Amino acid sequence: MAEDRKQSFRPGDSNRINREYLDSLMVEMRQIGAQLPDTNLELYGHTFSTPVMTAALSHLDSCCPNGMVEMAKGAARANAVMWAGMGSDEELEAIAGTGAKTIKIIKPYADEALIFHKIRHAEQCGALAVGMDIDHAFGHQGGYDVVLGQQMRPKTAQQLHSYLKATSLPFIVKGVLSVQDALLCAEIGVGGIVVSHHHGILDYAIPPLRVLPDIAAAVGGKFPIFVDCGLESGADVFKAMALGATAASIGRKMMEDLHEAGNDGALRRIEAATAELSVFMARTGTKDLSQFDSSIIWKR
């Protein structure tokens, strides 16, 4: 079965490369003096029960009716961070109505006025933070991307800084996959970054956890570092946090749970991943989220 799964991926598939890298990371046990861990996450002035977050997904009605709102309900029940990707103003208002603390990610629209409108609207909805998905600027045919009829464009550091200055919320840059971009984000004063390749938007992209330690070392704790792409379990989240992440998102795996059970499914996924994370923390002497040690991770 494992061989069949490998053959189902095309050469250069970044999701295959990413999964293989995640599975190559092993964990050292440190149990003398260990204790049950505290998984509470302090972020942007709020306390969450877990560093396991939803991913910045979009258009989940194919999973279940009002899929994004159902995911938000599950996140709110789990006291976890909710991320929201592309969607209407009305959808974000409904997400906010669930009580979920939500980070709104905006596409890199060519229409600058639309970007500033989305930032203002996120503020009006009481978002926890707002940000931009910078890796969605280019399409797969050699031109600029077009998403649901909306033209996209790459953004300069100066443009990102203008969005940051337009809001009192933390501004997060999603799609950072190099020390170079991370340092530019630090220079303009962002409130966080997401280390991500947008679920394989580029073939042969480096796995986020491979570059994560270098990014974490380069920015030196200036802002929270989040990770997504192919994370499925508490074990994956543990590895991400041991290598420098502040918190981590489970995305496509959660879509299966939404399809099966709506917000109950999202709640179960977050709780199950948090429980598994707690097991890994307990068996490695990681007492709380400030105690992660990268030397506990070994490469097979």
Looking at residue 207, the DSSP 8-state letter turns out to be P
Provide φ and ψ at 53, rounded to 5°: -120, 165
Contact 300, 25 (CB under 8 A): yes
Active site residue 46: no
Residue type (1 letter), 176? V
> What is the enclosing helix (H) or strand (E) of 131?
strand 129-133
59, 117, 198, 259: the active-site residue? 198
Instruction: Give alpha helix (H) positions in the chain.
Output: 2-7, 14-24, 67-78, 89-97, 112-124, 157-165, 179-188, 208-219, 234-242, 252-283
Q: What is the CA radius of gyration of the chain?
A: 18
Question: Closest Cα to residue 23, out of 163, 152, 207, 212?
Answer: 207
Catalytic residue numbers read: 198
